[in-house]
Amino acid sequence: MLLAHRIRIDATAEQRDYFARAAGTARRVWNWALSAWNRQAAAGLGPNAMALKKAFNRIKYSDPDWLDSDGKPWLRAIHRDAHAQPFANLAKAWSRYFEQRRAGQPAHAARFKKKGRSADAFYVANDKFRIEGRSAVLPKVGRVALHEVLRWGGKIIGASVSLEAGHWYLAVQVDVPDHLARRRRTGDVVTGVDLGVTSAATLSSGEKIAAPRPLKAALRRLRIRSRRQSRKLEAAKAAAGIVGRIGKGMRLPASKNRTKGALALALARLQARIARVRRDFTHKLTTRLCRENQAVVIEDLNVRGMPANARLARAIADVGFYEFRRQVTYKSARYGTRIVLAGRWYPSSELCSGCGRRNAGLALGDRAWTCAGCGVRHDRDVNAAINLQRLATGALAARTALPEASQAVTRDTAAGLTPAGGGEVTPVRHEHGQQDSSGQDENAVHICTRNR
């Protein structure tokens, strides 16, 4: 099973300088490769990332564009992994783009990377570094101090060094043996989880878990610091005599005050803290759900389309629905938990969890409603979570509604084949067979009625 551990580096000034140059090298090589790819594609040729890599290797120590002011190849000061991996990344980017196009999904072609706009990172192969307790030995820079020891034991696949808010991090990918990666569950329950904005997660047991919503809490400070940065940028443009937008290729004079305020002390660190708070909450919630349940039922939400609602876009982004699904999916493999996906059009909020009657007129603002059939008053989110739980129970009736944990649930799962994959994810619509939304609704009503 592939797992990753991201560790903060206590880098010296010389090490930080090398990391910045290596990340800049990776970015520049990516842009060179993408430019060559686009030229070949426009000429009707079949671009190939490995062929581009061989062409680059022939010129990188002799071409004037890759020589310093003294005519020496400055790439020799940077380890080769930093300028070799961008070609493999480019091949993956284009493969993903064409796969999405063939599947009819929204796809974006590979884009050029700009300093300050793209993440600063570079790759290190597994045979070029080693971990020794709370330190790592990296090529060209030697030993660097780490904030903690590597938590996973197993074969190291590779690592990347990246920058976030002025701090450098080492992300190590490890192929962990299954007997070390697996964790024991503490419960054998089937739980429905309704994700929302008012409460981050509502469980079928009736428990509501509120999200910290760090962006909302820090929004005032974020706006103040953003305005300060914007004013410094406008002052730099005025000093350079620039009116309107900054043209392509134009550079503003480097202001130490502007750079310090944006990258090191104010804006970037506040944004990083917001991300850390959200990530910490999501990790704890998803770990708890996988540890305490043998089956977790969630909806197949259209997360990409949700921000189209301008009133809810910020609140939805502050909760992080996609990250919740990603984490619960790969953690399910570690705990032997089954993840059941309810169909995107399954009306979990509109169905009465008591009698199965559907309230088709339920509006988004109705947080509670009374069933016209049985007269039971429902909390919208709790009712949806109960419907999800009962839907999974009915869909898994062949296993006697999962009365106890069974190793057979995940025995055939291809765990660990991909870094983010793992658990057994079962769409409910496939459990019932191919059908439209009306057929699915009828099945859901039957399940709710049968399991009262």
Among the listed residues 133, 184, 178, 176, the one whose alpha carbon sits nearest the alpha carbon of residue 157: 176
Q: pLDDT value at position 410?
A: 30
- Regions of the chain where pLDDT drops below 50: 264, 395-423, 429-452
Q: pLDDT value at position 225?
A: 83
DSSP characters over 167-219:
EEEEEEEEE--HHHH----S--EEEEEEE-SSSSEEETTS-EE----HHHHHH
Q: pLDDT value at position 440?
A: 38
Q: pLDDT value at position 427?
A: 58
DSSP count for the chain of H helices, then E strands: 12, 15
Q: pLDDT value at position 158?
A: 96
Q: pLDDT value at position 424?
A: 55
| Cβ contacts of 325 within 8 Å, gap of 6 or more | 298, 301, 303
- pLDDT tens readout for residues 104-126: 988 999 999 998 889 999 999 99
Q: SS3 for 4? A: strand
Could you state, in order of their start, the residue ranges of all structural domains in the chain?
Answer: 2-181, 189-212+278-450, 215-269
Q: pLDDT value at position 235?
A: 80
- pLDDT tens readout for residues 53-98: 999 999 999 999 999 988 999 999 999 999 999 999 999 999 999 9
- Residue 38 CA neighbour count, 13 Å, CB half: 10
